[in-house]
Structure 1
Amino acid sequence: MNKVRASATEAVADIHDGASLAVGGFGLSGVPETLIRALYAQGAGDLKVVSNNCGVDGRGLGVLLAASRISRVTGSYVGENKEFARQYLSGELEVELVPQGTLAERLRAGGAGIPAFYTPAGVGTQVAVGGLPWRHGPDGSVAVASPPKETRDFGGRTHVLEHGIVTDFALVRAWRGDRHGNLVFRRAAANFNPPAAMAGRITVAEVEELAEPGELRPDEIHLPGVYVQRIVALTAEEAADKKIEKRTVRS
């Protein structure tokens, strides 16, 4: 039951070329930066990433992206990364854009063993009818487009069929976690981390504070340890490394 690994390097050592990854975080909040840096050092490439966004230039998943280690992204927002835009428009990167709520539910559904579900989000748009450019050609043409999705009426309203997401691995960050893998997320970091953790066949969590079994009250646990296979305790310096993406108030 002791799921703690000695280091982030050890925790990501078996992530292989071509692996699919669900990664928690929203912008730069709750991003598993230490695990991402360890994966960068490890060298795996051709990664298929599922995450709300792909970090920013030089931070988060942007580190792997800049090294051309990501071949496909399933996400809902890509506007803060210039290298992302360059790779996508030049045909180097395949991108599946998904409505944000739908993406969260696809991850949660995959973790809950639900293969697919119907939602009204995206009905009447290219999300449902197809044609969204997943990959561009070198000349700017659309090389791969999204296929049309099945629709069905419920209560007189049209819904589109979306599939649950299950990935080979998941990388997440939590405020506190115990040796059994139970996790507590704090404030804005409780964003895509819980559903991303659910979607991974092997989930690795970096935690700012490591607790002993029994220290976390059952009613404060956001994600039970059954979804987590590996825990990495951050150093004080790693835990404090939280970059602010955009300041919206005076310093």
Structure 2
Amino acid sequence: MINKTIESVEEAVADISDGASIAVGGFGLVGIPSVLIAALRERGTGDLTIISNNLGTDGFGLGLLLQDGRISRSIGSYLGTNKEYARRYLSGELTVEFTPQGTLAERMRAGGFGIPAFYTKAGVGTPLASGDIPTRYNTDGTVAEYSAPKEIREFNGEQYVMEEGLRPDFSFVHAKRADHYGNLSFSKTAQNFNPDAAMCGKVTIVQAETLVEELAPEEIDLPGIYVDRVVEVGPQETGIEFRTVAE
């Protein structure tokens, strides 16, 4: 079996060049591959297409790449409270393709399974299907480009929207534990978009908090067949988007 461990995060991201597309696991700030993101930022790589549920928060996670102007296109579901995300989108600095969360997960999974496209009811009868969502603005605030209309098919009397699978150049994934063969174990809700992101990338890079010699079969959440590189990063603290405390 192939040993997929890499000595450093710098080595793990060394071949990612300008213009690359990257699927990034995590949901909000939970389970995000923040060490890999920081290493890519340090390299200065830009003009990136990022496929992720959201782009982190201001100054954290993918938000760091965003504030540096490294991301030119985003495929995701949630703009959220990231003010820089909204500013760049509305000022024409960022092209955004909005996709429903469940559809995004399935597009990732489909890409990993070799499925070029599939049909879903999500989005039927909405601007997503008709192609009326702005994907890019001009600097004066007018719309420069709209989303493309989706193909609609009818099955058993119901309408469905066609969505294409995603197959990015790379994937960034966070795992709690990994073994030398790329088998992964996720912790609790970090098993969000991480498995789907891992499946779809042409080259999947994993940051693991702990690297072990071999995971037992019952411990494996994602088999190593989907993983190309694993780097150990040590314990990671989960960020909190909204901290609410009682008085």
Q: TM-score range by the shorter chain?
A: over 0.9
C-alpha contact (below 8 Å) 1:55/1:80 kept by paired residues: no
Match of 2:160 in 1: 159
Cα shift readout 1:66-98 (whole Å, capped 9, x = no counterpart):
000000000000112100110000000000010
Task: Measure the CA separation in 2 of the matches of 1:95 and 1:64.
Answer: 15
Match of 1:231 in 2: 230
Query: TM-score with structure 2 length normalisation?
Result: 0.97
Number of corresponding residues = 246
Cα shift readout 1:198-231 (whole Å, capped 9, x = no counterpart):
1100000000111112xx2213311110110000
Q: For structure 2, which runs of at least 5 residues remain unmatched after alignment?
A: none
Cα shift readout 1:222-247 (whole Å, capped 9, x = no counterpart):
11101100001013xxx233222222
Establish whether residue 244 from structure 1 lines up as the match of residue 245 from structure 2.
Answer: no
- Once the two structures are superposed, the pairs formed by residues 168-247 of structure 1 within 5 Å of their partners are 168-213=169-214, 216-235=215-234, 239-247=235-243
AA paired with 2:9?
A
Task: Measure the CA separation in 1 of the matches of 2:216 and 2:35.
Answer: 27
AA paired with 1:195?
D
Cα shift readout 1:50-77 (whole Å, capped 9, x = no counterpart):
0000000111100000000000000000
Match of 2:94 in 1: 93
SS in 2 for 1:167: coil
Q: 1:249: Cα distance to partner? A: 4.8
Structure 1 stretch displaced more, 108-117 or 146-155: 146-155
C-alpha contact (below 8 Å) 1:6/1:232 kept by paired residues: yes
Task: Measure the CA separation in 2 of the matches of 1:167 and 1:28.
Answer: 22
Match of 1:32 in 2: 33
Task: Measure the CA separation in 1 of the matches of 2:117 and 2:77.
Answer: 19
Match of 1:48 in 2: 49
Task: Measure the CA separation in 1 of the matches of 2:66 and 2:113.
Answer: 29
AA paired with 1:243?
G
Cα-Cα RMSD:
1.1
Q: For structure 1, which runs of at least 5 residues remain unmatched after alignment?
A: none
Task: Measure the CA separation in 2 of the matches of 1:98 and 1:249.
Answer: 33
Task: Measure the CA separation in 2 of the matches of 1:32 and 1:218.
Answer: 24
AA paired with 1:229?
D
C-alpha contact (below 8 Å) 1:8/1:34 kept by paired residues: yes
AA paired with 1:234?
V
AA paired with 1:244?
I
Query: TM-score with structure 1 length normalisation?
Result: 0.96
CA distance 1:3–1:250, change in 2 (3 Å): farther
Task: Measure the CA separation in 1 of the matches of 2:149 and 2:53.
Answer: 22
C-alpha contact (below 8 Å) 1:116/1:161 kept by paired residues: yes
SS in 2 for 1:38: helix
Q: 1:250: Cα distance to partner? A: 4.1
Task: Measure the CA separation in 2 of the matches of 1:174 and 1:16.
Answer: 24
Task: Measure the CA separation in 1 of the matches of 2:113 and 2:212.
Answer: 26
Q: 1:128: Cα distance to partner? A: 0.6
C-alpha contact (below 8 Å) 1:129/1:148 kept by paired residues: yes
Cα shift readout 1:14-45 (whole Å, capped 9, x = no counterpart):
10000000000100000000000000001110
Identity %: 58
Structure 1 stretch displaced more, 147-156 or 98-107: 147-156
